[in-house]
Chains A and B, each alone.
Chain A
Amino acid sequence: MESAVWIILLPLLTAFFLGIFKLYSDKLFYSLVIVSMVIYLYLLILVINDSYPPKVYSIGNWGLLGINLMVDSFSAMFLLIIAILFITVIIFSLNYIKVNKHKFIILTYVMIAGIAGMVLTADLFNLYVFLEVSSMSSYALTAIKKTDKSIESSFKYLIMSTFGSFFILLATILTYYLTGTLNMAEISLEFKSVPFMIKSTIMFFFIFGYGIKIGLVPLHAWMPDSYEASPIPYNVLSSGLVMKSAIYALIRLLYVIFGVEFLTESGILNIGVFWGVLTFIIAHTLAYQQSNLNRLLGYSSIAQIGYITIGLFLGNEKGLIGGSFHILNHGIMKGTLFLVLGIFYYSLKADEIEDIQGLGYKFPVLSFTFVVAALAIVGLPPFNGFISKWLIIEAAIEAGFFYAAFFILVGTFLSLTYYLKVIIKLYTKTEKKTLIEKPDLSLKLPTFFLGSLCILFGIVPSLPLSLINNIPKFLLNNSEYIRILLGG
Chain B
Amino acid sequence: MELPYVVVIILFYLGIYTIIMNKNLIKIVVGVNIVESSLILLLILISFKLGGTAPILDRKYELVVDPIPQALALTAIVIGGSLIAVMLALVIKIYKRYGTLNVDEIRKLRG
Contacts and interface: CB of A to CB of B under 8 A. Distances in A.
**A contacts B directly (C-beta below 8 A):** yes
A170 interface: yes
Nearest to A182: B68
B39 A139 contact: no
B32 A177 contact: no
B90 A151 contact: yes
A155 interface: yes
B110 A148 contact: yes
Interface stretch (A159-167, A257-265, A461-469): A159-167
A146 B90 CA distance: 10
Contacts of A136: 82-83, 86
A173 B39 contact: yes
23 contacts: A129-B79, A136-B83, A143-B90, A151-B93, A151-B94, A151-B97, A152-B97, A152-B106, A152-B110, A154-B90, A155-B91, A158-B83, A158-B86, A159-B19, A162-B87, A166-B39, A169-B76, A170-B12, A173-B46, A176-B46, A176-B69, A177-B46, A182-B68
Interface in A119-172: 125, 129, 132, 136, 139-140, 143, 146, 148-149, 151-152, 154-155, 158-159, 162-163, 166, 169-170
Contacts of B28: 159
B42 interface: yes
Q: Can you list the 3 inter-chain pairs with the closest CB atoms, starting with the nearest?
A: A155-B90, A151-B93, A177-B46
A132 B78 CA distance: 11
Contacts of B16: 163, 166
Contacts of A162: 32, 83, 87
Contacts, number: 67
Nearest to A158: B87
A146 B69 CA distance: 38
A358 B60 CA distance: 80
A152 B94 contact: yes
Interface string B64-96: 000011001001100100110011001101100
A250 B43 CA distance: 23
B100 to A, nearest CB: 12
Interface of A: 125, 129, 132, 136, 139-140, 143, 146, 148-149, 151-152, 154-155, 158-159, 162-163, 166, 169-170, 173, 176-177, 182
A170 B90 contact: no
Interface in B1-49: 12, 16, 19, 25, 28, 32, 35-36, 39, 42-43, 46
B87 A125 contact: no
Nearest to A163: B19
Would you call the interface of chain B mostly helix, strand, loop, or mixed? helix
B39 A159 contact: no
A175 to B, nearest CB: 11
A124 B12 CA distance: 21
Contacts of A146: 93
Given A148-B97, A177-B46, 11 more contacts: A125-B72, A146-B93, A151-B90, A155-B87, A158-B87, A162-B83, A163-B19, A166-B16, A170-B12, A170-B39, A173-B43
Given A136-B86, A159-B28, A159-B87, A166 B35 contact: yes
Contacts of B42: 170, 173
Contacts of B46: 173, 176-177
A159 B32 contact: yes
Contacts of B36: 166
A194 to B, nearest CB: 16
Contacts of B110: 148-149, 152
Q: Max chain B CB contacts within 10 Å: which of A152, A154, A170, A182?
A: A152
A151 B68 CA distance: 37
A176 B39 contact: no
A485 to B, nearest CB: 19
A143 B89 CA distance: 11
Contacts of A159: 19, 28, 32, 87
Nearest to A161: B83
Contacts of A182: 68
A202 to B, nearest CB: 14
B44 to A, nearest CB: 11
Nearest to B69: A176
Contacts of B87: 155, 158-159, 162
Q: Max chain B CB contacts within 10 Å: which of A148, A155, A176?
A: A155
A148 B99 CA distance: 12
Contacts of B90: 143, 151, 154-155, 158
A154 B91 CA distance: 11
Nearest to B42: A173
Contacts of A129: 75, 79
A101 B98 CA distance: 26
Nearest to B96: A151
A190 to B, nearest CB: 15
Contacts of B86: 136, 139-140, 158
A129 B106 CA distance: 32
Nearest to B83: A162
B46 to A, nearest CB: 5
A374 to B, nearest CB: 30
A136 B82 CA distance: 9
B32 A169 contact: no
A415 B60 CA distance: 68
B76 A155 contact: no
B94 A132 contact: no
